[in-house]
Structure 1
């Protein structure tokens, strides 16, 4: 399983700063409380990752699409920016320490990045359902990573004692 998408050289610009952090936190709390399970008219989930460098738990709202065998597909689009979103690097560092929350239910998952024909099939499905992802791809020279999240069985993994 490889997470190997590097940042590009060209892409859109996203706003950042205290207002965007406030909005992200508000969206996350609404999705968790089930008061809001769509994001820009797409199904949304709360992705919980462990910081690649900090080891701190992070939550992000992302759009999802149904995958094969009851899996979930997500795209590390970041609106078509040149760089991957921070959560992509967190997932890459700890693919077995990812959880998702949908409609108030927490599901432990394992993440993998799709490549080749699997990615192409998933990408066609995603762009047919959500044309904006095709537009995001046009804004950047990096290939937008498509990740499959598969339900993990067994107990929740314990947090690491190290932050690195």
Structure 2
């Protein structure tokens, strides 16, 4: 039986997220986003509408492209619970995705089971330990599709 991959402590994960966002802000977006390349996911900035506040909420996430769609995982740093951006997107599906080279209006949705299986396999190409990380969560990790509006 293989050993589960080790995750850094939660405080470190949150610090890395904060540092990434700060770097993006300080450089006015010149650093912090990149396109996916062969064998490597990209980073985008997703702006959703807060489900309770109604205010814009932005987060930087990993993604890959599937035709015109952008594909994400609602993994919350492999911690328990759904990430806030995914809860926001479920309430207000319209959002803005900023990728290297521009931004676009998108509509988010959960991948249906058949799509999820195929897209999960594509994510597995980026990380061979994907299933082991996902097993740390008590709920299934949603694969999220951002479709152009």
- Quickly name the TM-score band, shorter chain normalised: 0.7 to 0.9
Is 1:46–1:102's contact at 8 Å kept on the other side of the alignment? yes
How many residues align structurally?
138
Q: Which residue of 1 aligns with 2:22?
A: 26
In structure 1, distance between residues paired with 2:27 and 2:110: 24
User: For residues 37-52 of structure 1, what are the structure 2 equivalents within 5 Å?
Assistant: 37-38=33-34, 42-52=41-51
2:11 paired with 1:15: yes
Scaled by the length of structure 1, the TM-score of the pair is: 0.72
Higher strand share: 2
Scaled by the length of structure 2, the TM-score of the pair is: 0.79
User: Superposition RMSD on alpha carbons, in Å?
Assistant: 2.8
Q: Which residue of 2 aligns with 1:159?
A: none
2:120 paired with 1:118: no
In structure 2, distance between residues paired with 1:76 and 1:58: 15
Structure 1 stretches of 5 or more lacking a match?
Answer: 1-11, 153-164
In structure 2, distance between residues paired with 1:31 and 1:102: 15
Q: Which has the higher contact order (CA 8 A, sep 6+)?
A: 1
Measure how far apart 1:22 and its partner are: 4.1
